[in-house]
Structure 1
Amino acid sequence: MTLTLQSAATLLNEHHLLREIITPDQWTMNPATVEGSGKEFTAITYSTQHIVNGAIMCCKGRFKPEYLKHADELGMAAYVAEHDYSGYTQAPGLIVNNASQALSLLAQAFYDYPQDELTLIGITGTKGKTTTAYLTHAILDAVSGGRAALFSSVDNCLDGEHYHESDLTTPESLDAIRMMREAVSYGMQYLVMEVSSQAYKVNRVYGLNFDAAAFLNISPDHISPIEHPTFEDYLYCKRRIVANADALVLGVPGDFAPLIEQDAALAQIPVTTFSLTDPAADVTATPANAQHTAFAMRAGGQPLGDLSLAINGDFNYANAAAAIALAHAVGVDVSDPRVLDSMRDVRISGRMEETHDSQSNTLAIVDYAHNYASVNALLDYVEQRYGNEHPHITLVTGSAGNKAIDRRKEIIEAAQHRVQTIILTQEDSDTEPFEDICAQMYDYVTDPHVERIIELDRPTAVQMAVDAARARDGFDVLLFIGKGDEQWIKVLNKHVPYEGDEQIIRRLFA
């Protein structure tokens, strides 16, 4: 499909987004009266830095009209905006009610609706999205002969082979749709993608329909002035995936599972449940041994076999059950031995990575845990696996700046009665001073038995935890959370190089 001013106006009008078309000569609802309305746009962009001759520019977010200063010189053919910018450009403007929604719709049209050529799977929830995405991708990749693409908060894979670090959990709509078209060009049949609450809040997935969607779990997160003002808003944004899917996979039990089942009933879509604890769920995972290193997987009441994952933690077997349910929802025969086999060796950089010290009785675990639910799950794993050895547990953590303010207290609440030492250090502070974040978290520690330390330099904090463990007798568990395998720290809107928690640990433990 080609995108022109005429077809763009028609599409936006169909979705009740178009207010009017403004040119230097007229205000109109009839695009045919605009000169060149049938000429095909050469490109679509939301950044003035990427304007080329014949491009349509979407002015969204915190857009300033001065950005259009050189747009005419660059050959901008038209713009889409919520405001009239005819004082800054001679190009016709499609004035809309919501620019981010318009961008998603126009991007889909420009790239000729690649979602129609893919089996699209979306995964949302407070925790477990990335692991479930990787496990689902592994299953679909195995049964399709390597024809599954992936969008995750860690990596994107468009050709079934090469993985590239991602910037966002869910890419901006234009970027996501462009990558979908690229995946189709590589012969991909499936696309598995994480869908964040922000993806619905800011319309990154507006107009997309998922062949199957998973709602894993929900707990408070991302509550801040620049994200979700309330938990209700956060939950509502997560729930929107249900109305945009043909089938739902749902984790049970859950505090809001009945509400989400009501969403599915209103959308008239089937629900497949998965669980670690509810034997009545459609897909279940139950421990196959006392060590919880293997789980018996069942689907539809039928045994699939025992599964041992390369990533530890009971919660990851719940993610595996979700992956099986998603595969089943899109027509995969989950009794195929390739289904379980494909998941056994899945590893995710920076997720539950365990390293033993060669010089002492110390275990380090690097993980992305960053909120109450994930920190609590991590400590449950440590207690279950190593509790009999009565380890001294040290938590090295910080929290993000400018957003998810609630996490700072939640991390401490999840940890302070279950660890012996908390070392507070820098994380992705962005424009907020990380010393202020650490000081705030320091004050949340109320347990007098917990040693609390602030060491702002993260490499020094890692070294401090290792040195203290080596100086103690007995068994130590060091938990380095929040950064995973990332080798940068976000400061003042820039990625500042950082060696990485896992890299430092490997160097110190070698």
Structure 2
Amino acid sequence: MTLTLQSATRLLTDHHLLREIITPERWTLDATQIEGHDRPFADVTYDTRTVKPGSLLFCKGNFRADYLDGIDGKGLSAYVAETDFSQTTGATGLIVNDVRRAMSLLSAEFFGRPQDELTVVGITGTKGKTTTSYFTQAVLNAHCDGRCALFSSVDNCLDGHTYVESDLTTPESLDAFRMMRAAVDNGMRYLVMEVSSQAYKVERVYGLTFDVAAFLNISPDHISEIEHPTFEDYLYCKRQIIANARALVYGADMSHVDLIRQDAAAHGITATSFALHNAGRSSGTPADVVAWPSDAAHEAYHIAVDGTDLGDYHLAIDGDFNYLNAAAAIAIAQAAGVRLDETAALHAMEPVRIAGRMEQFRDPQSNTIAIVDYAHNYASVTALLDYVNERYGARDPRITLVTGSAGNKAYDRRREIVEAAQQRIHNFIFTAEDTDTEPFIDICMQMQGYVTAPGVTSTVISDRPTAVTNAIYDARAHSDRFNIILIIGKGDERWIKDHHRHVPFEGDDHIVERMFAPAAGGAQQRSDSAQPSDAQPSVTQDSATQASVGKAE
């Protein structure tokens, strides 16, 4: 489908977004009065640097008139904005009430509405989105011969097997529809995508209806002046996925679950619940899909759907919460059309690994395990420590947590990470994480000030490689104890964001591998519970200097 000035005007009018069309000669609502109104746009963009002849430009965010200096010489055809820029450019202006909504609608149209050719799955929640997305993609790929695309906070995959590091949890709408078109052209039939609260806050998925939406869980997060002013706003934004879906999968034991059920009923969509219980469906909140341990060590889980036991599942990613994510993935896959008798497809999630998530390493020089993970808020830190207690509590481990927190946003995380951990660990090492303009040391000192539990030591080492190294040396100095070092927040990322720049960084996992390398030489193997798998979809970057872009959410 082609997009012209006339068809764009019609679409914006239908959605009550168009205010007027402005040129240096006239103001009008009738696109046919503009020369070239039926000429297809050659491209759509929100970056003035990529404008070419025939482009339609979206002037979003803190856009300034001086960004348009010289733009007519590039052949700009038209722009969409909330402000009249006719004093700066002779291009036709589509003046709208909400440029982000307009960008989503018009981008979908420009790329031929690729979402209509895909079964689109959207997954939201405070934690577990990425793991559940990878599990779901693995099942759908097995179901449809590798024709499932993925948009995640770690990687994007447009052909079912090639993974490229992503920029945002949920892409900008224009980028999302461009990638959807590429996925369709690559023969993809399904798309699994993470949907952040910010995606609804800033209209990245406006006009997009999900065939299946999953709402995994909710807990306070992303509360700040530049994200969500309150928890209510955070939850409300996430709930919008229900209003824009044809079917819902939700966590039966999540907070505010009654509200979620009411949303589904109000919008007339089917809802399937999932849960993690100790003894199957007979325990806890009844749910449609249930996972429960099949052995005392929690090394495998049964999963049942509507009382039908699907047998044992043994995941490559450890942790009870990941079996909850597996139950969610099966519920999602079933809602997307996978039959329960497709055993091989349902078990395709078992070998999946995600770089930087629950990666474990053993030190040959001491009785120490290091775990590298993306945990970064109260819920995820609590889940990680629950796992440590479940697996290793009987060995009375001495636990060190290496952590920081993001700058200029989500200020509540700083206190909550400390509160989640301080009664359950022995030592904090506060260090650099991503920031915009806040000095690392200020964030670390603030977090250290929240430590009140008696007997818990804390250290501030703002240089992250030094912090990780010191944690390992400290564990070796206490070799009379079993030590666990938890290094959280960065996963396998190869940069630290400092004053708007991505500064190359070795990576937590690479530092641990280097420090744990046997004295005689050779690479240190990850622990038995975290051996690499050939089916691993996300591969750790090989070079600390490889260009990458930070996640905004």
TM-score (norm: length of structure 2): 0.92
Rounded to whole Å, the distance in 1 between the matches of 2:227 and 2:255 is 22
1:183 aligns with 2:183: yes
Paired amino acid for 1:474: R
Structure 1 residue 255, shift from structure 2 partner: 2.0
Paired amino acid for 1:446: T
Rounded to whole Å, the distance in 1 between the matches of 2:386 and 2:509 is 21
1:440 aligns with 2:443: no
Preserved contact between residue 425 and residue 457 of structure 1 (Cα < 8 Å): yes
1:151 aligns with 2:151: yes
Q: CA-to-partner distance for each residue in 1:55-102, whole Å, 9 max, x for gaps? A: 010001111111011111111000000011111101110000000010
Q: CA-to-partner distance for each residue in 1:444-483, whole Å, 9 max, x for gaps? A: 1111311000001000000000000011111000000000
Partner of 1:361: 367
- Tell me which of 421, 427, 430 is aligned to 2:433: 427
Give unmatched runs, 5+ long, in structure 2: 518-553
Rounded to whole Å, the distance in 2 between the matches of 1:30 and 1:344 is 57
- Tell me which of 491, 508, 524 is aligned to 1:501: 508
Structure 1 residue 340, shift from structure 2 partner: 3.5
Partner of 1:478: 485
Structure 1 residue 416, shift from structure 2 partner: 0.7
Q: Tell me the number of residue pairs that the alignment of Structure 1 and Structure 2 aligns.
A: 510
Rounded to whole Å, the distance in 1 between the matches of 2:72 and 2:61 is 21
Paired amino acid for 1:486: E
Q: CA-to-partner distance for each residue in 1:349-394, whole Å, 9 max, x for gaps? A: 0000011111110000000000000000000000110000000000
Rounded to whole Å, the distance in 1 between the matches of 2:122 and 2:347 is 23
Partner of 2:323: 317
Partner of 2:267: 267
Rounded to whole Å, the distance in 2 between the matches of 1:190 and 1:494 is 35
Rounded to whole Å, the distance in 1 between the matches of 2:343 and 2:331 is 15
Partner of 2:495: 488
Rounded to whole Å, the distance in 1 between the matches of 2:340 and 2:501 is 44
Preserved contact between residue 364 and residue 478 of structure 1 (Cα < 8 Å): yes
Preserved contact between residue 324 and residue 339 of structure 1 (Cα < 8 Å): no
Preserved contact between residue 455 and residue 461 of structure 1 (Cα < 8 Å): yes
State how 1:198-213 maps to structure 2 within 5 Å.
198-213=198-213
Paired amino acid for 1:349: A
Q: CA RMSD in A?
A: 0.8
Rounded to whole Å, the distance in 1 between the matches of 2:61 and 2:160 is 33
Paired amino acid for 1:450: V
Preserved contact between residue 216 and residue 254 of structure 2 (Cα < 8 Å): no
Structure 1 residue 430, shift from structure 2 partner: 2.0
Identity %: 62
Preserved contact between residue 396 and residue 478 of structure 1 (Cα < 8 Å): yes
Q: CA-to-partner distance for each residue in 1:23-45, whole Å, 9 max, x for gaps? A: 10111111110111111110000
Rounded to whole Å, the distance in 1 between the matches of 2:240 and 2:401 is 35
Paired amino acid for 1:284: V
State how 1:100-499 maps to structure 2 within 5 Å.
100-277=100-277, 279=281, 280-472=286-478, 473-499=480-506
Preserved contact between residue 160 and residue 188 of structure 1 (Cα < 8 Å): yes
Rounded to whole Å, the distance in 2 between the matches of 1:154 and 1:245 is 24
Partner of 1:18: 18
Rounded to whole Å, the distance in 1 between the matches of 2:191 and 2:500 is 30
Preserved contact between residue 428 and residue 458 of structure 2 (Cα < 8 Å): yes
Structure 1 residue 18, shift from structure 2 partner: 0.3
Paired amino acid for 2:514: R
Bigger RCO (CA 8 Å, 6+ sep): 2
Rounded to whole Å, the distance in 2 between the matches of 1:197 and 1:255 is 16
Rounded to whole Å, the distance in 1 between the matches of 2:330 and 2:167 is 27
Paired amino acid for 2:386: D
Structure 1 residue 281, shift from structure 2 partner: 0.6
Other structure's SS at 1:177 match: helix
Q: CA-to-partner distance for each residue in 1:104-130, whole Å, 9 max, x for gaps? A: 001000000000000000000000000
Paired amino acid for 1:418: R
Rounded to whole Å, the distance in 2 between the matches of 1:401 and 1:251 is 30
Give unmatched runs, 5+ long, in structure 1: none
State how 1:40-119 maps to structure 2 within 5 Å.
40-119=40-119
Rounded to whole Å, the distance in 2 between the matches of 1:43 and 1:135 is 35
Rounded to whole Å, the distance in 2 between the matches of 1:298 and 1:447 is 41
Structure 1 residue 334, shift from structure 2 partner: 2.5
TM-score (norm: length of structure 1): 0.99
Rounded to whole Å, the distance in 2 between the matches of 1:74 and 1:466 is 56
Paired amino acid for 2:509: E
Rounded to whole Å, the distance in 1 between the matches of 2:341 and 2:241 is 28
Paired amino acid for 1:35: E
Rounded to whole Å, the distance in 2 between the matches of 1:359 and 1:155 is 34
Rounded to whole Å, the distance in 2 between the matches of 1:340 and 1:288 is 17
Structure 1 residue 335, shift from structure 2 partner: 2.9
Paired amino acid for 1:199: A
Paired amino acid for 1:224: S
Rounded to whole Å, the distance in 2 between the matches of 1:214 and 1:107 is 25
Rounded to whole Å, the distance in 2 between the matches of 1:158 and 1:165 is 12
Other structure's SS at 1:240 match: helix
Preserved contact between residue 352 and residue 366 of structure 1 (Cα < 8 Å): yes
Structure 1 residue 336, shift from structure 2 partner: 1.5
Preserved contact between residue 300 and residue 313 of structure 2 (Cα < 8 Å): yes
